[in-house]
Amino acid sequence: MTRIDDTPPAWDDRTQLTTFLDYARETARAKCQGVSAAHARTALLPGSPLMTMSGVINHLRWVEYYWFQVVFLGEEDLGPWTEEDPDREMRIAVDFPLPQLVDEYTDQSARYRELVAGNSLDTRAKRAVRDGLHVDLRWILLHLTEETARHNGHLDILRELLDGTTGA
C-alpha cells in the first residue's frame, strides 16, 4: 500500500479530505488481506462480541451508506439495523465471506467518491442529524475519516490477536 497520508497531491480542502478518507479506507482493506474465513468471523474481545474483522468492514460499509445516502441525499434508510438490533450490520457480517464484504465496500467507496466529486463541500445534508443541524459534505467527510481511522485501530488489534500480523 502506498502511503498517501504525508502530503496530499494538492492543498485544497476537497483534495485533503478525500485523500485522507481514501487512505483510511485503503488501510481498512489492507488489514483484511490474507485473513482466513475462520479468523474473519472470530470475536476476541469479551466486551464486544460483534467485533470481528467481517463485522468491522461491514460496519464501515453501512456507516458510509448511512451518511451519504440517508443523511446527505435524504434517501430512505434501508440499512440492516433495526431498533431492536441497532448493530445488526456487524452481527450479519459473519454470514458473508470477508472478500465479498471488502469488494462491496470498495465498490461503494468508488460510487461515493463520484458523489463527493459532484457536490460542493458546502452543500448541506437533506436530513438533520441528532441535534437538528444539517451538516455539510465537508463535515461528513471529516466524520467518516475519523470513524474509519478509529475502526482501523480495532482491525489492527483483531488482526494481531488472530494471527500475529502487524503493520499496514
- Per residue in 80-110, pLDDT tens? 999 999 999 999 999 999 999 999 999 999 9
pLDDT at 45: 86
The pLDDT of residue 106? 98
Domains of the chain: 13-163 (1.20.120.450)
Q: Which residues contact 1 (CB under 8 A, 6 or more apart)?
A: 26, 27, 30, 168
Q: What pLDDT does 4 receive?
A: 55
Distance CA 2, CA 46 (A): 34
- What is the pLDDT confidence band of residue 141, given thresholds at 50, 70 and 90? very high
Select the more confidently predicted residue: 111 or 47. 111
pLDDT at position 10, please? 73
Compute CA 164 distance to the chain's CA centroid, rounded to the nearest angstrom. 23
Q: CA distances (Å), 30 to each of 3, 18, 84, 99, in order?
A: 12, 18, 33, 11
- DSSP codes joined into one string, 57-111: HHHHHHHHHIIIIIIIS------S--SS-TTHHHHGGGGS-HHHHHHHHHHHHHH
pTM (predicted TM-score): 0.93
What's the whole-number average pLDDT of the chain?
Answer: 94
| Mean pLDDT calculated for residue range 35-58 | 95
Question: Is the pLDDT score of 15 beyond 80?
Answer: yes
